[in-house]
Amino acid sequence: MSNKLVTKVFKKLNKTPKTQTSYDVIIYVGEEPDCKEFHADSKTLRSKSDHFKKLLSAKDVEKNDEKYVIKKPNITPQIFNVIIKYLSNEDFNLTDKSGIEILNIIIVSDDLKLNQLTKFIKTFFINNNQQFLRKDPIEILQTVNSLKIFNNIQSPCLDTIVHEPEILFNSTKFNNLPVPLLEVILKREDLNVDEIELWENLIKWGLAQEKTLDKDVSKWRQEEFDIFKRILHKFIPLIKFYGISSEDYFNKIRPYEEILPKELRDEILKFHMIPGYEPTLNVYRPRYPRYYGDSVLINRKHIITLVGWINKNQTFKLGKSNSYSFRLLYRDSRDGKTPAAFHAKCDNKGATIVIVKISNSEQIVGGYNPLQWDSNNAFKSTKDSFIFSSKNSTNFQKAKVSYSNGYSSVGGFSTYGPVFGNYDLAYDAYNNTWQSNSSNSYPKIDIPTTFNASDYEVFQVTRK
C-alpha cells in the first residue's frame, strides 16, 4: 500500500475538519536534548484516543493557565509528529521513514489506543516489508519477533527472508542474529538457498560468536572443535547434508566434520560411497530439488519467479508459488524434437509455460501461454501471455519479461512447435531452429534472432 493510499484512507476516516489554531492541551514529548512541545485540542484527543480521554478525565490531571499538560518522555518527537498529525486530521508522510521508525510508530500508536492508525500503518509496513528488510533485516526481525503487537507482521517478514535469504546473509549485521531467530529460519523447508550456501553462512555466523577461534580451521586443536561444536550443536540437525554434493562436502564441510556426530559422519560417507544407500540419520529431503520435478532446466527458485510473472507482479507475491502446480508435459530430448511430438503431449492441456535452453550459452528463454496449445493453424489473442529471457540460467531475478499487446499472442500450428506472436518466439521445424525476428505481439527483449536449443521443456500450469 502506497503512502498516498494510506493517507487517502485516513482522510476518509477523519471526517471532522482540521482543528483550529486554538488549543487547550500542551504535550511535552521526549527528553532533553531531544524534547519538543506539541499543541492539541482536547475534544479531538478525547474523540480519537481512549488513552488521552482517560488522561484528560483524571482528577489529578496537570493544568497550567487553563491548559492541560501531558508529558510523554518515552516517545520521541519524530514519532509523535506523525501521531499528532493524525490526531489533527493532517496529512503525514511515511515514505521517508525507515522500517524501524515505522515499527516504533506502531508501538506508540498501539500504546495510545489509536486502533485505526495502528491497523493502517501495519498494513503499510506489511506491503513494503521487502524494501525495509533489505536495509535493516536484523533489527527488524528482532523487533517484530519480540512483541505480540507484531504477530501479523512476523510471517510476511519471514516469508521475505525465506524467498530472498541473501537479504539476511549479506547483511553486515548477520552475525548479530540471535540464536532463536536463526533456528526459526533454518527450520523453514521452503528456504530458498542451496544447502552448501546455508552451511557456509552458518560457519561464518558461528565463528563470529567466539572471537578467540582462528579463522583457519586447519590450526584448530580439539579444544577449538569442542567450542565450535557447542556453538552450532542445535543447528547441525537442521542442515540437509544429503543435499550437498560430494565435492562440496569434501572441500567445505570435511574440515569442520569433527563437530558432527560420528554416526552422522558415517551415514554421510555411506550415502556418497554406496550407490542407492538410504540414510537413517538426519533423513530430510532437500529444501528444494536441484531441478523441479523431472525437469533438467529449472528448479524451485525459477518456479517462484515464474509464478510472480504469471501474476504480473515482478516483485513476487510471496507464497504464491505454493498455489500453483507445474507438471512436465514434454521435453524435446526425451519425447522427440518434432511438432507432432510436441502437439501430442501438449495440445488441449490448458495453460503452459515453455522453457528453452540456448545451445552453448547460459541463456534461458521461454514463454507463458495462459490458454492452450492446439493444431487448428490459427492465432489466439490474450494480454496475459508473456515471453522472457534470462542471461543467467540459475537465477531469473534479472530476467527481462515482455507481455503480449493482445494481438496474435499464441499460435497453434500443426507443423510448428510453440509459437508466441508472429515469430516473436517460435520453433521453426523446417529449419530446426528457434526464431525471434519480430516484435508484433511482444515488446522486443534480448532473445537472439535465430538460435539452436540444447533442450526445451513444456510444463502444464494449474492453480491449486
In the chain, domain spans: 3-127, 194-273, 300-463
Of the candidates 194, 190, 183, 191, the one whose C-alpha atom is nearest the C-alpha of residue 237 is: 183
Can you read off the three cell numbers belonging to residue 55? 488522561
Report helix angle 179-186 to 151-163, nearest 10. 60
The single residue listed with the C-alpha cell 492452450 is 372
Can you read off the three cell numbers belonging to residue 227? 567450542
SS3 for 311?
A: coil
Q: What is the pLDDT of residue 285?
A: 60
Cα separation of 345 and 64, whole Å? 84
Q: What is the pLDDT of residue 36?
A: 94
Q: Identity (one letter) of the amino acid at 113?
A: K
Of the candidates 453, 392, 447, 370, the one whose C-alpha atom is nearest the C-alpha of residue 417 is: 453
- Is there a cis peptide before residue 33, judged by omega within 30 degrees of 0? yes
3-127 CATH fold: Potassium Channel Kv1.1; Chain A (3.30.710)
CB-CB contact of 426 with 411 (8 Å) = yes
Cα separation of 87 and 418, whole Å? 59
Neighbouring-strand partners of residue 327: 460
Query: What separation, in Å, do the N-terminal and C-terminal C-alpha atoms of the chain show?
Result: 27
Q: What is the pLDDT of residue 318?
A: 43
C-alpha pair distances (Å), 29 with each of 45, 72, 113, 118, 198: 16, 5, 17, 19, 45
CB-CB contact of 231 with 202 (8 Å) = no
Side-by-side strand order, sheet with 433-435: 378-380, 410-412, 419-420, 425-428, 433-435, 450-451
Q: What is the pLDDT of residue 3?
A: 45
Cα separation of 366 and 418, whole Å? 10
Rounded to the nearest angstrom, the gap between the alpha carbon of residue 120 and the centroid of all alpha carbons in its chain is 22
Ranges in the chain, pLDDT < 70 = 1-21, 283-293, 313-323, 464
Cα separation of 112 and 109, whole Å? 5
| Strand-strand pairing, 67-72 and 25-31 | parallel
Long-range contacts of 252-258 (CB under 8 A, 24+ apart): 252/196, 252/199, 252/200, 253/196, 253/199, 255/217, 255/218, 256/203, 256/217, 256/228, 258/222, 258/225, 258/229
Of the candidates 196, 401, 224, 243, the one whose C-alpha atom is nearest the C-alpha of residue 312 is: 401
CB-CB contact of 298 with 289 (8 Å) = no
Cα separation of 101 and 132, whole Å? 10
Can you read off the three cell numbers belonging to residue 14? 477523519
Can you read off the three cell numbers belonging to residue 105? 510508530
User: What contacts 334, CB < 8 A, 6 or more positions away?
Assistant: none
